Amino acid sequence: MLKTCLTQKHSKPSIRIVPKGAINLSTYSFVARYFSSWALTLIGGALLGAHLHAIAAQRLNESELHRSEKNSAAPRQASHAKAFSASKTHPHLSKTSHKSKQIITETGPAFSLTPELIALADHIALSQDLPKNWVLTQLLQAKSLSKIKQLVMPPSAGVKKNWMAYRERFLTAQRIQGGQDFAQRNWSTLEKAQSQFQVPWEIIVSIIGVETFYGKNMGHFKALDVLTSLSMDFPASHPRAKERQAFFQEELGALLKLMRNNPQQVWLSSFAGAMGLPQFMPSNWGKFALDGDQDGRVNLMDSEADAIQSVANYLAQFGWRAQMPTHYAMEQTFDSTHLQEMLLPDILPTFKSEQLISWGLRLSPEAQAHQGPLALVMLENAEESPSYVLGTENFYTLTRYNWSSYYAMAVIELGQEIKAKRTASP
């Protein structure tokens, strides 16, 4: 028979399995105060060992737990006025139409009970108003994923961006047709969102198409593993490591809040922790997610109506302006004397059209008549000459969804193709 105990190794406590009788009782007090009151009544280390052994068993049976959660019919717990539901589906979708595509394929070693993990649990419990012992129990079930640490790193120096290659990745016949199909089955919802938020329906559809291929690719990582890994072991070599690690710690707290309120949901994500059809980070579920089908629950994993309303709300909250174009085409050859000055604000609209004309840009009549500020957006094409467009405040709003001018242009052009295909359809 084996018993679980805590040992000190290199000044950090770790969990290991040792023969019965070898438990180090001096370390028991280190962890006892982090468990609920029943833990404080344990006599010796045997019961504590049994508790931790149960956690280990739960880890080993994680795949079975996932299956039982997906198929459970247990009622959802409400979070204030709403609950995020795992079982609600769009009327045009089968219950497993999205989730069945998501297979957890990444795993790694479980996190150990360390002072750093306990400190993180304390911070999350306080900031999210969650039971400390419950938070710590969840973190102890998370797996450390080494692969995602590489994925969150910026591109290596010298790797050139390529707009045309990026564009081809998203503007495919399959994604355009998928967008038309998505629009067709959700047309009334899209019209409602467009009317309410003044965001063009094709932009909403295109964002969902770029993010997840309309729900087909929502991520195959367990969100708890992802965000715990990035919270505990964010790559120190990242140029903004401290800032990004703090960001992921806050997102981990938001995820645990969702998990607490929705114990039956299977939370899968991208390698960065984004979830659902619109790939919202956990904190954005609370800030921007809406109940599009008005069934009293918000479910971005399965409900296309909820995703549509939530994407439109997100853009509106970030300043989408009705009837304003996203960008203007421009002459690609121009006097580059003031190029660096025009690129200095990056994609933030800063310049009046008159200023850009005085610096040598040749603007279309529509761009000249634009009343707001504009940005010169440069899209690199690897070894070829870059492409340029004039971005408006709506272009900038799109980059608040994903901080990339390449992303914004892909969304815009995919939306244009979907709209053209729908218009041409009988």
Last residue of a domain, one of 57, 87, 117: 87
Residues 153 and 224 in one domain: yes
Assigned domain for 322 exists = no
Residue 287 lies in a domain: no
Residue among 318, 324, 302 at smallest CA distance from 401:
318
Q: Is the pLDDT of residue 321 over 70?
A: yes
| Tokens 């038309």 belong to residue | 180
Structural contact between residues 413 and 343, judged by C-beta atoms closer than 8 angstroms: no
164, 381 in Cβ contact below 8 A?
yes
Q: Would the pLDDT of 16 be above 80?
A: no
**pLDDT tens sequence across 66-125:** 323 333 333 322 233 333 333 333 333 333 345 434 455 667 899 999 999 999 999 999
Residues 50 and 97 in one domain: no
Residue 11 pLDDT greater than 80, yes or no: no
CA distance 378 to 344: 11
Whether residues 62 and 79 fall in one domain? yes
Please say whether the beta carbons of 268 and 212 come within 8 A. no
C-alpha span between 311 and 351 (Å, rounded): 28
Note whether residue 280 is domain-resident. no
Q: What is the CATH number of the domain that holds 414?
A: 1.10.530.10
Whether 45 and 92 map to the same domain: the answer is no
Q: How many CB atoms lie within 10 A of CB 237?
A: 8
Q: Is residue 411 part of a domain?
A: yes
CATH number for the domain harbouring residue 146:
1.10.8.350
Q: Tokens 């999210």 identify what position?
A: 128
135 and 175 share one domain? no
Both 143 and 234 in one domain: the answer is: yes
Backbone angles phi, psi at 317, to 5 degrees: -65, -25
Q: Is residue 334 part of a domain?
A: yes
- pLDDT at residue 295 tops 80: yes
pLDDT in tens, 371-410: 999 999 999 999 999 999 999 999 999 999 999 999 999 9
**Both 177 and 137 in a single domain?**
no
Measured CA distances, 139 to 57, 227, 270, 353 (Å)? 15, 10, 19, 53
198-215 CB burial, b ≥16 within 10 A, e <16 = ebbbbbbbbbbbbbbbbb
**Tens-digit pLDDT profile for residues 205-221:** 999 999 999 999 999 99
Task: Specify whether 111 is located in the same domain as 142.
Answer: yes
The single residue listed with the structure tokens 């949901």 is 265
Q: What is the pLDDT of residues 186-199, one digit of tens each?
A: 999 999 999 999 99
Phi, psi of 84 (to 5 degrees): -85, 120
Query: pLDDT category, 22, cuts 50, 70, 90?
Result: very low
Sequence-distant (6+) residues with CB within 8 A of 40 are 32, 33
What are the angstrom distances between the C-alpha of 193 and each of 81, 312, 342, 362, 401? 22, 6, 35, 36, 17
The per-type count for the chain, helices as H runs and strands as E runs, is: 20, 9
Assigned domain for 66 exists: yes
Residue 321: inside a domain, yes or no? no
Asked if residue 364 has pLDDT above 90, the reply is yes
pLDDT 10s digits, 233-282: 999 999 999 999 999 999 999 999 999 999 989 999 999 999 999 999 99
pLDDT (tens digit per residue) in 217-230: 999 999 999 999 99
- Structurally, the chain folds into a number of domains equal to 4
pLDDT at 34 over 90: no
Instruction: Tell whether 56 is covered by a domain.
Output: yes
Closest CA to 149 of 220, 223, 234: 234
d(CA 279, CA 209): 11
305 and 418 in a single domain? The answer is: yes
Share above pLDDT 90 across residues of the chain, in percent, rounded to a whole number: 69
Query: Which is higher by pLDDT, 165 or 18?
Result: 165
| pTM of the shown model | 0.77
> Are 139 and 233 contained in the same domain?
yes
Distance, C-alpha 10 to centroid of its chain? 35
User: Average per-residue pLDDT in the chain?
Assistant: 81
83 and 175 part of one domain: no
Domain containing residue 193? 161-214+296-316+396-426
**Whether 152 and 80 share a structural domain:** no
Can you give the pLDDT at residue 304? 98
